[in-house]
Structure 1
Amino acid sequence: MTSKAAPIAIPQFTSKDYSSFFLAGALCCTITHVAMTPLDVVKTRIQIDPAYRKLNMLTGTRHVIATEGPKALLTGFGPTAVGYLVQGGAKFAGYEYWKKKSVEFAGSQEAAVKYRTAIYLGSASVAEFFADILLTPLEATRIRLVSNRSYATGLVTGFTRLAREGGIRELYAGFLPIICKQIPYAIGQFTVNEYCHEIAFRSMSEETRRSLSSTNKFALQLGSGIIAGFAAAILSHPADTLLSQINKGHGPTGSMSSRLAALAREAGFRGLFAGLGPRMVMTAGLVSGQFLMYGAIKEALGAPPGLEIHKESSAAI
């Protein structure tokens, strides 16, 4: 007779715990995205402005400063701060929630470990989908401000004008491309980070792992975050390019899917990956910074660790 698989020890997160997850995710995402605003301005210009198409991050930054002044590098600051405040909270808290629910559905440690890739992919995807409902109108406003210098003076005027002139339809015109961008991004961010930690932990004894110094923990989190950031950038970049084009009003009329297909054909492979280098640098900084801050803020708030389902351990991290 074969023995039954042992049940997995699942933490019972409370509403206070999820509030802490939300706050930690909100703060880590809005802080990192706001810090990267200048890079994002130049990256977006490279994607959608022919005058920037042959420039790199350094020459593009110089061109922005020379033609518009240093203040232009902070274009879209307001929508970025608010958008990623709500999106980051929903994404990180949602990932914790859906991963826990998925492990409960699996029913045992053996099943959870066996299907951990599906759990990571599914949890990241569902959490990001709902987070993007909150993000899309603010991202549309940000891109409109960056791509059209005279569109509005900031978040409130830009959002109001976009809502007044286009309504809900225009605010959510980029929802399909944004989920095509953000879901692969979240998959790369969470799944690759989980596997980087798992690979590192496999090379350690349990005693070594439990006695890791603060410096070693920091190095592990930083390295895993950088690798996850590179993966997130590569997976999501084509849709990021199309999102910028859609929000600037490019492409033929028709359904969103037909517009995306037409823009993709027009851009070609090289066009879809225009600006990837700067975005990889930006995303590596974003993702690694987010994971470092997320863990630190959770600890400061007294929140419990997340549920770990790595292959060789069922302990919480």
Structure 2
Amino acid sequence: MSSLQFDHATYDSSKSNNFLLPSSSTNGVASKNNIMVASPSEKIKMYSPAFYAACTAGGMLSCGLTHTAVTPLDLVKCNMQIDPSKYKNISSGFGILMREQGIKGLFKGWAPTFLGYSAQGAFKMGGYEFFKKYYSDIAGPENAAKYKTLIYLAGSASAEVIADVALCPFEAVKVRVQTQPGFARGLSDGLPKFIKSEGVMGLYKGQVPLWGRQIPYTMMKFASFETIVELMYKHAIPTPKDECSKTMQLGVSFAGGYIAGIFCAVVSHPADNLVSFLNNAKGASVADAVKKLGLVGLFTRGLPLRIVMIGTLTGAQWGIYDAFKVSVGLPTTGGGSASEAKE
């Protein structure tokens, strides 16, 4: 590959030290051996404050809305992890929750889910765009092109470290509300009750396992997505990306996101079991979780449901995120072309 084909690697031409700046272009397309540049018709300048604000807003919407939508699946998954003797499988889990709590009960914990994952999505997506450019500038054109996957991995990991600090308190309350009947109705009464019981720092006792779940998940999410989308445009789509319709590009974003989500679910599942266990049991440790769940259970308990949930979730997140970007005049993510799609 002759150049690093970041879809967003189009830098302000007034800055001579920017990475991979094309020497000349026609109609927003760089000359051979350079990257594609943003179309002049785009409403937002790449890597401007408005660009990062748009990516942050898109991340907030994509993660907050999707995680809230799958709250019933998450509720069943958490209860299967915490009480497998009662919630033996997906169908029986839904049946038990419906009988005991009704349809309304399937969305228990939606408020901490929405607020927590909206905050996480904002830092995750906006942070990824920032760190991807930052590390590319440090590496320089040749090394950035050669080690682009490492840049994807480093950028996503850096963003996720910050994003999870925002998520952790909400995740703690969510799990407690979902898995302890009678603990609280939701965030408004659950948060003060949690703090009264375990203190403010108790909200962060799952921080390290959360990093253990989310950082590998996010590294896989971004690196595999960028690679899958690039391969799809190269081998599966007969038309170059910049000649595809916006609808086609968004379809590729969803498909690439769904496939990436399957990998994400597998690599992050053991830590997900730990997070659920620690946030459910007061004073529990990682050793307690391993002893209770067993090594095999740590890797497999609730995994099929999580694959379905995370695959759908990740596909929808990339679809919503890229749809938002397109709506403000930015290119979709991945595939190497930053030229605007046709209507």
Tell me the TM-score range normalised by the shorter chain: 0.7 to 0.9
What are the Cα deviations for residues 47-104 of structure 1, in whole angstroms up to 9, with x where unaligned? Answer: 001343422x222111110122222111101100110111111100000000010111
With 138-147 and 198-207 compared, the bigger mean Cα shift is at: 198-207
Which sections of structure 2, spanning at least 5 residues, go unmatched?
1-17, 22-36, 38-44
Q: 2:269 aligns with which of 226, 237, 244?
A: 237
| 1:250 positional shift | 6.2
- Letter of the 1:300 counterpart: S
- Letter of the 1:264 counterpart: V
C-alpha distance in structure 2 between counterparts of 1:262 and 1:47, whole Å: 14
TM-score normalized by structure 1?
0.87
Please say if 1:222 is aligned against 2:254. Answer: yes
Secondary structure (helix, strand or coil) at the match of 1:8 reads coil
| 1:315 positional shift | 5.1
1:94–1:127 CA contact under 8 A, matched in 2: yes
2:19–2:136 CA contact under 8 A, matched in 1: no
Please say if 1:213 is aligned against 2:225. Answer: no
| 1:216 positional shift | 3.1
User: What is the percentage of aligned positions where both structures have the same residue?
Assistant: 35
C-alpha distance in structure 1 between counterparts of 2:156 and 2:82, whole Å: 29
C-alpha distance in structure 2 between counterparts of 1:121 and 1:27, whole Å: 23
TM-score normalized by structure 2?
0.81
Q: 1:289 aligns with which of 316, 321, 328?
A: 316
Which sections of structure 1, spanning at least 5 residues, go unmatched?
1-5, 253-258
> When the two structures are aligned, how many residues end up with a matched partner?
300
Please say if 1:121 is aligned against 2:153. Answer: yes
Partner residue in 1 for 2:32: none
Please say if 1:31 is aligned against 2:62. Answer: no
C-alpha distance in structure 2 between counterparts of 1:251 and 1:85, whole Å: 28
Q: 1:260 aligns with which of 279, 286, 301?
A: 286
Please say if 1:138 is aligned against 2:170. Answer: yes
Q: 1:165 aligns with which of 197, 205, 221?
A: 197
C-alpha distance in structure 1 between counterparts of 2:240 and 2:280, whole Å: 52
| 1:186 positional shift | 0.5
C-alpha distance in structure 1 between counterparts of 2:131 and 2:143, whole Å: 16
With 223-232 and 213-222 compared, the bigger mean Cα shift is at: 213-222
Change beyond 3 A, Cα 1:248–1:151: same
Please say if 1:8 is aligned against 2:46. Answer: no
Secondary structure (helix, strand or coil) at the match of 2:294 reads helix
Q: 1:21 aligns with which of 55, 67, 71?
A: 55
With 65-74 and 228-237 compared, the bigger mean Cα shift is at: 65-74
Q: 1:249 aligns with which of 277, 281, 300?
A: 281
Of Structure 1 and Structure 2, the greater helix share is in 1
Q: 2:102 aligns with which of 69, 74, 78?
A: 69
- Letter of the 2:55 counterpart: F
Partner residue in 1 for 2:132: 99
Partner residue in 1 for 2:117: 84
What are the Cα deviations for residues 104-152 of structure 1, in whole angstroms up to 9, with x where unaligned? Answer: 11111x3212111111111111100100010000000000001112111
Change beyond 3 A, Cα 1:315–1:74: closer
